[in-house]
């Protein structure tokens, strides 16, 4: 993919993969949670699956430049992560990140929150109002734009979190469990938004819901014990399951089979 970057400071202006990791290691506290991970992500929607404690959140935090890698190589939007550390603002301007738990000022309205995040990400002042309204509309919160964050349900708050993540039209979008708390109708709408975003953005979505991945992702990444143990399409995932594997769908059975295999290979 070729994208024009906003300024020379983030040269080069082109990259093939928004994320490239080789032998990546990342600590969560003192624990090495990402243990030598290889990954390449281009434009599209990538579903990140893995058992509890596999390292998904730690990986997301490293890709979001919140955690510094402990080893290996990481390139984000064509730039080595260690080079970016001198000034993280240019790269963060081009990223969107919804953490599993995000901080917010409860008295802010949805509009104030999203506009504030746009300002933090250095969206040009003249574009902030339009970008804010568009992001709020894309997550279906226009009728709650004047509600205070503390008045929102869990699902609505999550959608406000997604709005702030996309307000700057990021080239790399990282969403950690964005569908938690969404009702079934909102999950369907959210899948459409993901597919739409994935047309020109590298989107990485961590989830426990295999069915969400099948419905909205072009690519599936399975992490186990801090490494990528499988990457392929949802159709390939479905092919891996057998009748003896746990799950309500072919993709869930495929996921169960691949995690079981990873556990066996790890000697767990
Ligand atoms: N601050 C910390 N200190 C020590 N260990 C931690 C810390 N944070 C996470 N860990 C450990 O690191 C490993 C990876 O955690 P991480 O939260 O990245 O997993 P995850 O795949 O996101 O899990 P889940 O699906 O439960 O959200 C786990 O074993 C976890 O217990």
Q: Nearest residue CA, atom 27 of ligand 1?
A: 52
The pLDDT score that the predictor gives to residue 82 is 83
Distance of CA 99 from the midpoint of ligand 1 (Å): 14
The pLDDT score that the predictor gives to residue 81 is 87
Domain ranges of the chain: 103-169
Token pair for 196: 């739409």
Q: Which atom, in ligand 1's list, is nearest to the CA of 226?
A: 14
Residues with CB under 6 A from ligand 1: 28-31, 33, 50, 52-58
Q: Which atom, in ligand 1's list, is nearest to the CA of 208?
A: 25
Residue among 233, 185, 179, 167 at smallest CA distance from 207? 179
Token pair for 241: 């399951």
pLDDT in tens, 190-229: 999 999 999 999 999 999 999 989 999 999 999 999 999 9
- Please, what is the angle between helix 110-120 and helix 125-138, to 10°? 130
Positions of the chain with pLDDT under 70: 1-13, 268
The b/e string for 72-101 (b: 16+ C-beta within 10 A; e otherwise) is bebbbbbbebeebeeeeebbbbbbbbbbee
Other Cβ atoms closer than 10 A to 46: 24
């Amino acid at each position: 993919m070729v994208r024009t970057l906003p300024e020379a400071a983030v040269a080069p202006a082109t990259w093939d993969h928004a994320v490239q990791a080789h032998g990546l290691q990342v600590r969560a506290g003192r624990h090495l949670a990402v243990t030598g991970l290889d990954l390449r992500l281009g434009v599209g929607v990538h579903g990140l699956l893995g058992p509890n404690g596999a390292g998904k959140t730690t990986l997301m935090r490293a890709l979001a430049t919140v955690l510094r890698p402990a080893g290996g190589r990481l390139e984000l939007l064509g730039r080595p992560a260690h080079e970016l550390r001198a000034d993280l603002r240019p790269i963060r301007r081009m990223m969107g990140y919804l953490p599993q738990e995000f901080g917010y000022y409860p008295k802010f309205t949805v509009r104030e929150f999203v506009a504030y995040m746009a300002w933090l990400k250095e969206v040009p002042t003249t574009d902030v109002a339009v970008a804010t309204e568009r992001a709020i509309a894309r997550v279906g919160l226009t009728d709650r734009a004047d509600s205070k964050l503390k008045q929102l349900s869990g699902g609505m708050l999550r959608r406000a979190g997604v709005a702030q993540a996309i307000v700057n039209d990021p080239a790399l979008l990282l969403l950690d469990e964005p569908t938690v708390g969404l009702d079934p109708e909102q999950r369907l709408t959210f899948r459409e938004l993901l597919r739409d975003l994935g047309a020109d953005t590298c989107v990485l979505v961590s989830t426990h819901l295999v069915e969400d991945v099948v419905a909205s992702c072009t690519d599936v990444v399975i992490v186990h014990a801090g490494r990528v143990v499988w990457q392929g399409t949802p159709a390939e995932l479905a092919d891996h399951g057998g009748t003896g594997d746990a799950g309500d769908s072919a993709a869930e059975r495929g996921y169960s089979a691949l995690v079981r295999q990873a556990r066996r290979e790890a000697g767990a």
